[in-house]
Amino acid sequence: MNELRLQPQIIGEGLRKLRLSKNITLETVAAATGLTKGFLSLVETGRRNINAKDLQALLTQYDSSSALFISLLCGRGAEPEVIVQKSKNMLLLDGKHGERGCRVLLARPVGTAHEPEITVVDIAPQSLLTSDYTIRHGTIQGYVIAGTLLIEFKGDEAVARAGDEFMFDGRRHHLFRNFTEEPTKYVQFFLPE
């Protein structure tokens, strides 16, 4: 994902509440994630945006997930038009639209960090879903609805085409790419450990 389409104040407040609920200090989070205490403080006060990679690192420290985090924010009266685009109970997690963008829809809100996440992902031609390798603690599996999906691992790769299924350990460093001139769409199931 690129930048989450959330107001920085809403993200920051949610992250602060989540951190405090786990009784974790900014110093501890900074040491565990490699982010500075100053940056974390600016994010929590809504004065800095956070990218999806750093957000995922924080949520991992708090035993949460992006799907749970967004679901909780939406349930707390956050402004839906800023946070999500709702369509039949689907929540827009990422919305960089246009020629070279991606769109990630959470198929249903989730209630716990250990609940399976189901997302529908659209990747524009010649685009990356994430700009860097990511890891997730659990199993990632999916089904390609249209186009071609390249799953890139450090030192390896796999190609899945329309009608293909895929599954791998999310702890492997990975990224998703559409290297073709056609859009790619797939459904992903993430089963947390």
Kindly state the average pLDDT of the residues 36-43: 94
pLDDT-derived band at 75, boundaries 50, 70, 90? low
**Which of 138, 139, 180 is closest to 159 using CA atoms?**
180
Instruction: Output the pTM of the full model.
Output: 0.66
35, pLDDT greater than 50: yes
CA distance 109 to 89: 8
Instruction: Work out the angle between the directed axes of helices 37-44 and 8-21 (0-180°, nearest 10).
Output: 110
Handedness of CA 81, 85, 87, 89 (dihedral sign): negative
H or E element, residue 26: helix 26-33
The count of residues in the chain is 193
Domain boundaries, the chain: 8-83, 116-192
> How large a percentage of the chain has pLDDT more than 90?
39
* Region 116-192: CATH code: 2.60.120.10
> What share of residues in the chain are helix, strand, coil (percent, to 5)?
30, 35, 40
**CATH number belonging to the domain at 8-83, selected among 3.90.79.10, 1.10.260.40, 3.40.50.1100, 3.90.1330.10:** 1.10.260.40
189, pLDDT greater than 70: yes
Poorest-pLDDT segment among 63-72, 97-106, 156-165, 181-190: 97-106
Q: What's the pLDDT at 97?
A: 46
Over residues 128-185, the pLDDT tens digits come to 877 778 888 899 999 999 999 999 999 999 999 999 999 999 999 999 999 999 999 9
Q: What's the pLDDT at 172?
A: 93
